[in-house]
Amino acid sequence: MTPYEKAKDLINKFEEITNDFDSARQCAARVVFEIIDDLTDSEVDSSYWQQVRFEIYATPNPNVISEAKADQFNL
């Protein structure tokens, strides 16, 4: 599973519980942070989880229309 797919999977699982995308993203980020913290303490490579963390923060909220995209569309 790619980091992007894993990020989406985690967000979707938490969104089923919270019914709120932003809360789900925060929960997913917290879980990944804990995984990274544990791996770092064990001196294990955490690069995959670092990429997952990046993808979680890079995933836009699908329920919010970005004004920047709307402005580009209107040009």
Residue 35 CB-density burial (10 A; 0-12 exposed, 13-18 middle, 19+ buried):
middle
Distance of CA 44 to the CA centre of its chain: 22
Please state whether the predicted TM-score (pTM) of the whole model is above 0.85: no
Residue 52: name the closest of 37, 39, 67, 33 by CA: 33
What's 42's DSSP letter?
T
Furthest CA-CA distance within the chain: 52
pLDDT tens across 15-71, in order?
Answer: 999 999 999 999 999 999 999 999 988 888 989 999 999 999 999 888 776 655 555
